[in-house]
Amino acid sequence: MTKIFIIALLINNVVLMRFLALCSYVGMTSDVGQSVGMGFAVTFVTVLATAATWPLYNFVLLPLGLGFLQILVFILVIASLVQLVEFYLKKNVPGLYAAMGIYLPLITTNCAILAVTFENISNGYSFIESIVYAVGVSLGYLLAMVLLAGVRIRIKNSPVPKFLKGTPILFAATSLIAIAFMGFSGLVK
């Protein structure tokens, strides 16, 4: 279990090693607070999505022989799930909605979340393992977000060559962080 978690969090970090969810990674890291909010919102939604899609696949799609409908069904389910959660939070937990709600529409179709739900299936994880994997991946996402947000503060106050200004320098910084993350590869045997 720990192995699954560590692999998801560090060794196969969703952003830095597998280059998923790069759009929100670049878009939402201009501020550390913002990136933390986004990170936790993603964690929340990923776990929810896993908890919803794993039973759906194993108890509904598989018995019906509709495994090939996976992509369509998962996208639909995750999108409506996020919408439902948004309604619920708005009404019952306005504080949490104010903190997280603005990010929710952004992550309805985040590729990292979809990837987690697919991998849970293709790796043949049990339900508990799937949840652990989801938490690991999304915390890895949070970690990468906060790291880049920190680096971006430095970049903002540095004389960046004109041809690298903006997104290019961010990707350069990201690749350097990714190289650093390669050092984790021997962590689990």
Partner 1 sequence: MTTILITLGFSALLAFVLGALLGFFREKFKVERDPLVDEVRGALPGANCGGCGYPGCDGYAEAVAARRAAPNLCSAGGSKTAEAVAKIVGVEAAAEDLVSVLLCGGVKEKALDKGSYVGLPTCRGAKLSTGSVKACAWGCQGFGDCVEVCKFDALSMGEDGLPHVDYDMCTGCGKCAEECPQRLFAMVPKARKGSVVLCSNRNVLKANVMKACKAGCIKCEACVKICPEACIAMVNGIPVTDYAKCTSCGKCVEKCPTKCYRLLEVDVMGAKKKVPVLA
Is residue 75 close enough to count as binding partner 1 by CB under 8 A?
no
Q: Which residue lies nearer to partner 1 by CB, 84 or 164?
A: 84
Stretch that binds partner 1, among 23-31, 88-96, 114-122, 125-133 (CB under 8 A): 88-96
Site string for partner 1, 120-159 (x = CB under 8 A): -------------------------------------x-x
Instruction: Provide the residue type at 152 as one letter.
Output: R
Where in 159-188 is the site for partner 1 (CB under 8 A)? 159, 162
User: Which residues 6+ apart lie within 8 Å of 61 measured at CB?
Assistant: 67, 69, 70, 73
Q: Which of 72, 128, 172, 180 binds partner 1 (CB under 8 A)?
A: 72
Is residue 95 close enough to count as binding partner 1 by CB under 8 A?
no
Q: Report how far residue 40's alpha carbon sits from residue 152's, in angstroms, rounded to the nearest whole number.
A: 20
Q: Which of 2, 64, 161, 186 binds partner 1 (CB under 8 A)?
A: 64
Q: Which residue lies nearer to partner 1 by CB, 1 or 76?
A: 76
Six token digits for residue 179: 């190289």
Stretch that binds partner 1, among 12-20, 64-72, 117-125, 128-136 (CB under 8 A): 64-72
Helix, strand or coil, per DSSP, at residue 19: coil
Q: Which of 42, 17, 24 is nearest to 149 (CA)?
A: 24
Q: Rg of the chain over CA atoms, in angstroms?
A: 17
Can you state the angle between helices 32-55 and 127-156, rounded to 10 degrees? Answer: 160
Q: Report how far residue 122's alpha carbon sits from residue 158's, in angstroms, rounded to the nearest whole number.
A: 44
Task: Classify the phi-psi angles of 65: left when phi > 0, otherwise alpha if psi is within -120 to 50, otherwise beta.
Answer: left
Least distance in angstroms from the C-beta of 89 to partner 1? 9
Q: Which of 51, 77, 173, 178 binds partner 1 (CB under 8 A)?
A: 77
Give the footprint of partner 1 on this chain (CB under 8 A).
64-66, 69, 72-73, 76-77, 80, 83-84, 87-88, 90-92, 157, 159, 162
